[in-house]
Amino acid sequence: MDKQPAIGRFAPSPTGPLHLGSLYTALAGFLQARSQQGLWLLRIDDLDTPRNVKGSADTILKTLETFGLHWDGEVYYQSRHIDVYNAVIDDLRKNKLVYPCTCSRKTLAVFDSGPSQADIYPGICRDRQVPLDTPHALRVKTDSRVVAFQDELQGLISHNIAEQDGDFIVKRKDGIIAYQFAVVIDDDLQHVNRIVRGFDLLDATPKQIYLQQLLGLSTPHYMHVPVIVDEQGYKLSKQTQAMAVDLSSPDRVIFQLLILLKQNPPVELQEASLTELLGWAIQHWNPVLLKNTHAVGCDY
């Protein structure tokens, strides 16, 4: 039986142009897939419509092409699969694995007993009868199982979903499918088996594995790479007004990103073309050099 090919993905949200931190993660995923002669897919996470910025998806595509990060197959847009998400949620509802929740942030604040408890849902609505015409979110019922997985860079991660998260939202009160739920369905639909993403998403992974187990789906291999932080130690993001990536010198930017990825590109590659640079990076890709690193500083 042939070994299943490595299938990775990059899944940006169309909330603005790619910044250096996003491109850094994209490059890591691209190199991981290509070094294994695998596929690298592109997914646009456009479900959170209030945050979407018109034209951003096309800008993201053009930016990736400018940097030589060419994806395989057609671009996958989450917004075209809403019927699929809702069908799975309906099945969970029929099996009484999800329930309506009317709690507001103000309601939950009363139960907040400190930072360690801030994100743990106390189960207020789990056994409450909520009229279906009342605005509500949907939460998935969790149990006390321990979800454990071996992250390729961060080592063994072990997480008790019920104690550390409680029942979490799979569909928001505004009707938007929650990220945690959509990403699990998407990865299954796209047959993704290798996920490379930022360390900042590590805490979300046990919840996604819990959903995979609940739905009988396979669990991909995970690799959470360190995030780029600025001089103040904040992750580069749109929220911190990170600048759009410079498109004028893609070869120079890729060289700098390889340094941040601790790949130690030879100095002479500073004069290489983008094609040569990416060719070298694929051939020499060694993610182990990032092991146990959570963040890398950048003054770029």
Query: Which CATH architecture fits 7-81+181-297?
Result: 3-Layer(aba) Sandwich (3.40)
Known binding-site residue numbers for L-glutamate? 9-13, 45, 179, 197
124 compared with 132, residue with greater pLDDT: 124
The yes-or-no verdict on residue 66 having pLDDT over 60 is yes
Sketch the domain layout of the chain as residue ranges: 7-81+181-297, 96-178
Q: How high is the pLDDT of residue 225?
A: 96
CA atoms within 13 A on the CB side of 69: 30
Q: How high is the pLDDT of residue 299?
A: 59
Give the pLDDT band of residue 232 (cuts 50, 70, 90): low
**Superfamily of structural domain 96-178:** HUPs (3.40.50.620)
Q: How high is the pLDDT of residue 8?
A: 98
Both structure tokens of 23: 């491109």
Per cent of the chain over pLDDT 70 is: 91
Give the pLDDT band of residue 242 (cuts 50, 70, 90): low
Rounded to an integer, what distance in angstroms lies between the CA atom of residue 246 and that of residue 63? 9
Known binding-site residue numbers for Zn(2+)? 101, 103, 121, 125
User: In terms of Cα–Cα distance, which of 204, 182, 214 is closest to 87?
Assistant: 182
Rounded to an integer, what distance in angstroms lies between the CA atom of residue 80 and that of residue 210? 25
Rounded to an integer, what distance in angstroms lies between the CA atom of residue 88 and that of residue 110? 33
Give the pLDDT band of residue 259 (cuts 50, 70, 90): very high
The answer to whether domain 7-81+181-297 and domain 96-178 are alike in fold is: yes
Which residues, in sequence order, are CB contacts of 68 under 8 Å at separation 6+?
250, 254, 274, 275, 278
User: In terms of Cα–Cα distance, which of 86, 66, 82, 77 is closest to 13?
Assistant: 77
Exposure b/e, 190-217, CB count within 10 A at least 16 = b: bebbbbbbbbbbbebbbbbbbbbebeeb
Indicate the residue type of 18: L
Contact 260, 267 (CB under 8 A): no
Known binding-site residue numbers? 9-13, 45, 101, 103, 121, 125, 179, 197, 238
Rounded to an integer, what distance in angstroms lies between the CA atom of residue 181 and that of residue 183? 6
Give the pLDDT confidence of 183-218 residue by residue, as tens digits.
Answer: 999 999 999 999 999 999 999 999 999 999 999 999
Known binding-site residue numbers for ATP? 238
Give the pLDDT confidence of 90-125 residue by residue, as tens digits.
Answer: 999 999 999 999 998 877 776 655 544 457 888 899
